[in-house]
Amino acid sequence: MSKKVVIIDYGLGNLFSIKQACEHVGYSVEISCDPKKILKADGLILPGVGAFGNAMESLSSKNLISPIFEFIRTGRPFMGICLGMQLLFTESEEYGKQNGLNLLNGTIVKFPDFNLTNYRVPQIQWNKIFPSTRNSWAETPFRSIKAGEYMYFVHSYFAQQIDDGIILSLTKYANIEYPSAVLKDNILGIQFHPEKSSYEGLKIYRNWLK
């Protein structure tokens, strides 16, 4: 029997490409904002495209924050992608201070204006990911990925002031090295888009619930 994945529908997310990626690797997938369905999932995904404050407001208005917390307490796999990763942290500086879910300690900040031809904000490009020196990719959803593999990024903000112990991968943009993925217990946060990162990105979805 295939694993059941629920993708949270709160109005800001790249839902259907994530659904297709998960189905491609053999999961049964449903897009839903129903807390009952969320709590029955084998794996839960929080997607996200857009502004941090709008996303938190939407999660709150749809009464989705409590089900997310309850699901995570079960120990089952949870994944936040792009803005969905950023929402896991304490706060964001996007359009003034915005409170996040505070599942992970850290602050979301904007890339500076680099004034360099090859480095624009937002970062929209393929970029490399490398393991953190503190954490191996063995026994994680990244275990099939080679160091220096390219993944697809679209973002203006990144996480900082976080615990080195949760950093799964690092990426460099201009002169800034930042966490492109984090892992704490059953919580996986990914700044890039695995579903848009070709075969290597699909490996992450495939490994996630194994």
Q: What CATH number has the domain bearing residue 160? A: 3.40.50.880
What integer pLDDT is reported at residue 114 of this predicted model? 87
Q: What CA–CA distance (Å, rounded) separates 61 from 65?
A: 9
Average pLDDT score over the chain:
95
Q: Which residue has the higher pLDDT, 116 or 104?
A: 104
Rg of the chain, C-alpha, whole Å: 16
> How many domains does one find in the chain?
1
Secondary structure element (H or E) that encloses residue 163, with its range: none
What integer pLDDT is reported at residue 81 of this predicted model? 97
**Contact call for residues 68 and 38 (beta carbons, < 8 A):** yes
Is residue 13's pLDDT more than 90? no
- Name the residue range of residue 121's domain: 4-208
Whether the bond into 122 is cis, omega within 30 of 0: yes
Q: What is the mean pLDDT of residues 18-38?
A: 97
pLDDT band at 135, cuts 50/70/90? confident
Q: Which residues are catalytic?
A: 82, 193, 195
Is residue 165's pLDDT more than 80? yes
Is residue 183's pLDDT more than 90? yes
> pTM to 2 decimals?
0.96
The structure tokens listed for 117 are 């031809």
What integer pLDDT is reported at residue 12 of this predicted model? 81
